[in-house]
Chain A
């Protein structure tokens, strides 16, 4: 996998505040990459450095094999967190203009836009003023504006905010399609379940520094406590090596916390060999990204787990 974007120890300060202290990560071509972090962590500043809006104080950024600059503009699509469209223009004119700024001739822009507007269920609203559209519609419109020129790199900040499940699905499909075409997407979002579902790799920034990086699976394993999730009958808390049992939700699943020297495999064997237990579901308990996020922001760092 070739690196489309390499960020190497960049730092950026404004007046007295340090926005980015030390951030490094790489994004490969064709990836769906998640950029996570609490509010004010430095995500937007990092994105703006990639877009050449800000120049880093220290460190280097390599985009398409070059420092970020004017030549990369037409190859990037950007959906900023603070949405903005020309409220007084009608939807189609607005999108044709924005596409024009990315170098698409008006005719070609109209042709491509008609497909996208149809797909995002906006085709009946093209002559309405942007300001009269609902927030979700405006967001979809802006999403279209970010990708109509088929950029090699799409950077989206909170792409799913204000969207219903149907539209969320539409955008996810676009991300998958782009990945299949070898086009890269970097998304910054707080919706962790979507990161788990979509992203291959992630980096999490907290207080201007990278606190987590890697594939989504590896990160979850790093944060796995020694515990298993079990759904079944029997006196599960009596199993050897189980130190605590916590009911999980309504469907009878329980979380069994294990003693340090006990492995999930030992528990599994014990369950399987004793007829007093019937097991419908057994899984190693992996924390959700949501939990990991809260724990990391709370000060916890990844633990090195053996095996």
Chain B
């Protein structure tokens, strides 16, 4: 363990001092920042021209009428109805429509409370207008006895101003976002997947570099006569994972900084809205997810002869990590479906799937336990597997690692 930590510390320090590391780590935020500031500038111009969001009650234009037969709606004077205009009966509404005083009117039937249907009489081509305003009016009316709840319901959620990615502009929330799913449902899995993905990728390139470099410069013979392959690889996976984390932290930090510098108010509610259980699980899945992929990549590093050959394989092996994002819609719609459960148990897809599901729905503790155990076991197995391939005897036997040689190495005592 002590030597594993020694290797980890060495790998971390060795790579963090590299000019190439400093360059990518610091250069990327600068480029992204520049792009971001530009896009933010154009965004602000376009949002200025855009029509006001639909959820706010329209206050201009030809009025829209409504006829209340249910008796639920308050007298017209009791609410600020804006464009909406109450009519005592349908006949007067018809008259107003014929005289083009209104574009159309809503008919709230007597059985609205049980039926939930509201009729629209008016221009059939353009369809109902001011639907949102009508919905708001009805909501307010239904909750007349509970004004606080009414306010909370009618105040639109703040999700529209939350960027989905650190480099995304405002107003990029997924258009089909359901208000009840909340911003958290989308931001957490995406942000989590992005962070995990970037960590794996950056750590993977360091890992490949480090492993192949030792093979190329022949240090490996001395190193492997001093430490066990498992100690060496575990140290590398740990040290370089930490390095990847540092890189991601710098990128994230600078992303947030850029957001604030550019004057975009971060919705403070978002951070507070994430329950601590989700954060704790995110950390657990992040670490285990990295360990699984890190160990897999260490195994790749053991078999390839140069970095270029390895990079191609890495691209392929990381694909399972993003599979859950393809099923994002399905998982959000049914967080406890068989698909979601299976993806949560398969170690390669578990971290991101769990991060999609956890904020949405309570998950059975056994399910979390099984998936965590499976992840940990997979990470350990993969690391062991990589260590078998990484024994000096295998590396120095002077033959390329064919599938057969790999199998033989695994079987050997």
- Extra A-B contacts (5), CB below 8 Å, given A55-B413, A78-B225, A84-B218: A70-B228, A82-B221, A85-B219, A86-B14, A97-B6
Quick one: which of A14, A53, A85 contacts B224, CB cutoff 8 A? A53
Q: List 8 A-B contacts (CB under 8 A).
A: A14-B399, A51-B225, A53-B221, A53-B393, A83-B218, A86-B217, A100-B3, A145-B222
Do residues A53 and B396 form an inter-chain contact, with CB atoms below 8 A?
A: yes
The residue of chain B having its C-beta at the shortest distance from the C-beta of A85 within the complex is B219
Do residues B217 and A73 form an inter-chain contact, with CB atoms below 8 A?
A: no
A296 within 8 A of B: no
Chain A residues within CB distance 8 Å of chain B = 14-15, 48, 51-55, 70, 73-74, 76, 78, 80, 82-89, 97-98, 100-103, 142, 145-146
The residue of chain A having its C-beta at the shortest distance from the C-beta of B215 within the complex is A84
The residue of chain A having its C-beta at the shortest distance from the C-beta of B412 within the complex is A55
B397 within 8 A of A: yes
10 tightest A-B CB contacts, nearest first: A84-B218, A101-B226, A84-B219, A82-B218, A53-B392, A80-B221, A84-B217, A100-B6, A97-B10, A54-B393
Do residues A101 and B217 form an inter-chain contact, with CB atoms below 8 A?
A: no
A22 to B232, CA, bound (A): 33
In B186-229, the 8 Å CB interface with A consists of 214, 217-228
B115 within 8 A of A: no
Do residues A14 and B398 form an inter-chain contact, with CB atoms below 8 A?
A: yes
Quick one: which of B214, B219, B220, B226 contacts A73, CB cutoff 8 A? B226
The residue of chain A having its C-beta at the shortest distance from the C-beta of B213 within the complex is A86
The residue of chain B having its C-beta at the shortest distance from the C-beta of A130 within the complex is B217
A33 to B217, CA, bound (A): 28
Which residues of chain B are within 8 angstroms of A54 by Cβ–Cβ distance?
393, 396-397
In B1-23, the 8 Å CB interface with A consists of 3, 6-7, 10, 14, 18
Quick one: which of A14, A51, A52, A84 contacts B397, CB cutoff 8 A? A14
Which residues of chain A are within 8 angstroms of B3 by Cβ–Cβ distance?
100-101, 103
The residue of chain A having its C-beta at the shortest distance from the C-beta of B391 within the complex is A53
Which residues of chain B are within 8 angstroms of A52 by Cβ–Cβ distance?
225
A89 to B397, CA, bound (A): 28
A60: min CB distance to chain B, Å: 15
Chain B residues within CB distance 8 Å of chain A = 3, 6-7, 10, 14, 18, 214, 217-228, 391-393, 396-399, 413
Quick one: which of A15, A86, A98 contacts B226, CB cutoff 8 A? A98
A102 to B393, CA, bound (A): 19
A83 to B220, CA, bound (A): 10
A234: min CB distance to chain B, Å: 58
Do residues B218 and A80 form an inter-chain contact, with CB atoms below 8 A?
A: yes
The residue of chain A having its C-beta at the shortest distance from the C-beta of B227 within the complex is A101
A82 to B223, CA, bound (A): 13
User: Which of B221, B224, B227, B398 counts the most A-chain CB atoms under 10 A from its CB?
Assistant: B221
Quick one: which of B7, B219, B224, B225 contacts A86, CB cutoff 8 A? B219
Quick one: which of A70, A84, A100 contacts B222, CB cutoff 8 A? A84
Which residues of chain A are within 8 angstroms of B14 by Cβ–Cβ distance?
86, 88-89
Quick one: which of A48, A102, A142 contacts B396, CB cutoff 8 A? A48
The residue of chain A having its C-beta at the shortest distance from the C-beta of B18 within the complex is A88
A70 to B232, CA, bound (A): 14
Which residues of chain B are within 8 angstroms of A98 by Cβ–Cβ distance?
222-223, 226
B366: min CB distance to chain A, Å: 39
A74 to B223, CA, bound (A): 12
Which residues of chain A are within 8 angstroms of B6 by Cβ–Cβ distance?
97, 100-101
A55 to B6, CA, bound (A): 28
The residue of chain A having its C-beta at the shortest distance from the C-beta of B226 within the complex is A101
B12: min CB distance to chain A, Å: 12
Known: A53-B225, A100-B6, A102-B226. A15 touches B219 (CB 8 A): no
Which residues of chain B are within 8 angstroms of A100 by Cβ–Cβ distance?
3, 6, 10
The residue of chain B having its C-beta at the shortest distance from the C-beta of A55 within the complex is B393
A95: min CB distance to chain B, Å: 11
Do residues A85 and B217 form an inter-chain contact, with CB atoms below 8 A?
A: yes
Which residues of chain A are within 8 angstroms of B228 by Cβ–Cβ distance?
70
Which residues of chain A are within 8 angstroms of B224 by Cβ–Cβ distance?
53
A83 to B6, CA, bound (A): 22
B11: min CB distance to chain A, Å: 10
Do residues A15 and B217 form an inter-chain contact, with CB atoms below 8 A?
A: no
Which residues of chain A are within 8 angstroms of B391 by Cβ–Cβ distance?
53
User: Which of A52, A87, A101, A146 counts the most B-chain CB atoms under 10 A from its CB?
Assistant: A101
B239: min CB distance to chain A, Å: 12
Which residues of chain A are within 8 angstroms of B396 by Cβ–Cβ distance?
48, 53-54
The residue of chain A having its C-beta at the shortest distance from the C-beta of B399 within the complex is A15
Which residues of chain B are within 8 angstroms of A142 by Cβ–Cβ distance?
222
Do residues B225 and A76 form an inter-chain contact, with CB atoms below 8 A?
A: yes
A97 to B226, CA, bound (A): 11
Which residues of chain A are within 8 angstroms of B223 by Cβ–Cβ distance?
98, 101
Which residues of chain B are within 8 angstroms of A101 by Cβ–Cβ distance?
3, 6-7, 223, 226-227
A69: min CB distance to chain B, Å: 11
The residue of chain A having its C-beta at the shortest distance from the C-beta of B13 within the complex is A93
A100 to B13, CA, bound (A): 15
A97 to B6, CA, bound (A): 8
A150: min CB distance to chain B, Å: 14
A88 to B399, CA, bound (A): 28
Do residues A84 and B225 form an inter-chain contact, with CB atoms below 8 A?
A: no
Do residues B217 and A87 form an inter-chain contact, with CB atoms below 8 A?
A: yes
Do residues A84 and B221 form an inter-chain contact, with CB atoms below 8 A?
A: yes
A34: min CB distance to chain B, Å: 21
A152: min CB distance to chain B, Å: 14
The residue of chain B having its C-beta at the shortest distance from the C-beta of A145 within the complex is B222
A246 to B175, CA, bound (A): 101
Which residues of chain B are within 8 angstroms of A76 by Cβ–Cβ distance?
225
A54 to B218, CA, bound (A): 17
A151 to B263, CA, bound (A): 63
A5: min CB distance to chain B, Å: 15
